[in-house]
Structure 1
Amino acid sequence: MKFFIDTANLDEIREAQDLGVLDGVTTNPSLMAKEGITGQANVLKHYKDICDIVDDNVSAEVIATEYEKMVAEGKELAKIDDKIVVKIPMIKDGVKAISALTAEGIRTNCTLIFNAGQAILAAKAGASYVSPFIGRLDDISMDGLALIEQIVGIYDNYGFETEVLAASIRHNMHLIQCAEIGADVATCPLGVITGLLKHPLTDSGLEKFLADHKKSNK
């Protein structure tokens, strides 16, 4: 499973990269605004700053919602760096834009996926990734993990090369369960990734080992 970090914070991205387990970054306008990144020139520069930190897979989201404008914006984003994956919303014009960008060799991430039908359309259009938002489904008492499992099964049936990117992950068990059911990628906050490090028996075991070492070296 690939680990992406869902943030626009450069310090968090560096920390995840330094951990040695980071495969990419996902961002969106809300995350950019949270970091105080405003204005088109600043946003584009920030995407480049992120690309300079990580090895690959930086999802950069279009703002346009009309086909021609999405394609034009996607091409501009792709020029920033070869690591850019253009993030396109799951709407009719978005599907058309994914098909057009894919035909030009530009990778895409179809975002705001909430059912299997949307995931099928995105894969047929050639999306590199689809992003089902499991946490948001859970928020309205629907089973986000069941959707991940359904999409994985459908893609396996037909050999779609589109990767299933589990998004809106809220906690450690979300991530682990996504791994169990075969999601290709999980994108989440840094705290979810670092949370995998923690277990009370690890802490108590290390404490005991160190205490025994100290005793044996007096």
Structure 2
Amino acid sequence: MKYLIDTANLEMITKCNDLLPIAGVTSNPSIIKKEGKIDFFAHFRKIRQIIGSEKAIHIQILAQDSEGIIREAHKILDNVDKNVYIKVPVTPQGLKAVQLLKKENIGVTATAIYNKTQGFLAMEAGADFIAPYYNRMENLDIDAADTVASFANMINAYGYETQIIAASFKNMAQVNTALACGAQLVTMAPDILLSALAVPSIKKAVDDFDDDWKKIFGNSSICDMK
């Protein structure tokens, strides 16, 4: 079970990397748009510096034909680093590109998955990760939980090495359901993850503990104890 954050904001990445046990960063053009016209490759090299070499970066291509996807993938790998996972939407041309990229041992995340067939084909094509869009499926009246569970069942039944990065969430309830259904990883906007730790009841419990301690020991801390 691993958590990734879906953002390109350097300040937020620094904050989450410092506070939380995140496994990496994912992005797409819509996420990058929020940061404005960045120096693309330099920006992602900064992200790598922040999170370190052991954590994952997933960057999405723009090309829609397999040849263009391959070119963009190599451009990213040459200008960020060789450990980046290339995000490829699961279309016919995308599936062709996934197979070609895997022949070169390039890490691939198959993304923009809305149905079971896309996920099954991406597994068979050799994708390292598949990214089903949880909330977007629910908006289309597709059973997102069942879809994620079906992917997990197929991986277990047939021994695929593909892992599930569930994506597109609007709240932590969806995130936790995706994990319970078999997703090995989840990626979400940092605010969703941080909001789970900002519940007023948590702060009240911590404040109550502090008050009870002070009633007995005053302002002395545990470190003051002998």
TM range (shorter): over 0.9
> Per-residue displacement from partner, 1:144-191 (whole Å, max 9, x unpaired)?
122111111111111110111101011111111112111011000112
Alpha carbons of 1:164 and 1:205: their partners in 2 closer, same or farther (altered >3 Å)?
Answer: same
> Residue 52 in 1 paired to residue 49 in 2?
yes
Partner residue of 1:128?
A: 128
Paired position in structure 1 for 2:177: 177
Tell me how far apart the structure 1 counterparts of residues 178 and 198 of structure 2 sit (CA, whole Å): 19
Identical columns (%): 29
1:1-218 mapped onto 2 (5 Å cutoff): 1-38=1-38, 42-54=39-51, 55-79=54-78, 80-218=80-218
Q: Please tell me the residue identity of whatever aligns with 1:51.
A: R
| Amino acid in the other structure paired with 1:75 | H
Deviation per CA, 1:43-62: give whole Å up to 9, x if none: 12222121221232111111
Stretches of structure 2 that go unaligned for 5 or more consecutive residues are: 219-226
Query: What is the distance in 1 between the residues matched to 2:185 and 2:9?
Result: 20
RMSD: 1.5
Displacement of 1:199 in angstroms is: 4.3
The total of aligned residue pairs comes to 215
Q: Secondary structure at the match of 1:64?
A: coil
CA distance in 2, matches of 1:34, 1:205: 36
Q: Residue 145 of structure 1 aligns to which amino acid in structure 2?
A: A
Q: Secondary structure at the match of 1:58?
A: strand
> 1:52-107, CA deviations, whole angstroms, 9 ceiling, x for partnerless residues?
21232111111111111111111111222133100111111111111111111110
For structure 1, the 5+ residue unaligned runs are none
Pairwise CA distance, 1:200: 4.4
Give the deviation of 1:137 after TM superposition.
1.1
> Which secondary structure state, in structure 1, belongs to the residue aligned with residue 85 of structure 2?
strand
- Helix, strand or coil at the partner of 2:161: coil
Q: CA deviation at 1:201?
A: 4.1
Provide the rounded CA distance (Å) in 2 between the counterparts of 1:37 and 1:5: 21
CA distance in 1 between counterparts of 2:216 and 2:91 reads: 66
Q: Over residues 9-56 of structure 1, what are the superposed CA-to-partner deviations in whole Å (9 max), with x where a residue is unaligned?
A: 111111111114110111011111110035xxx212222121221232
Partner AA of 1:10 in structure 2: L
Partner Cα distance (2:47, 2:102) in 1: 23
Q: CA–CA distance in 2 between the matches of 1:168 and 1:120?
A: 19
Q: Tell me how far apart the structure 2 counterparts of residues 209 and 196 of structure 1 sit (CA, whole Å).
A: 20
Range with greater deviation from structure 2 (84-93 or 188-197): 188-197
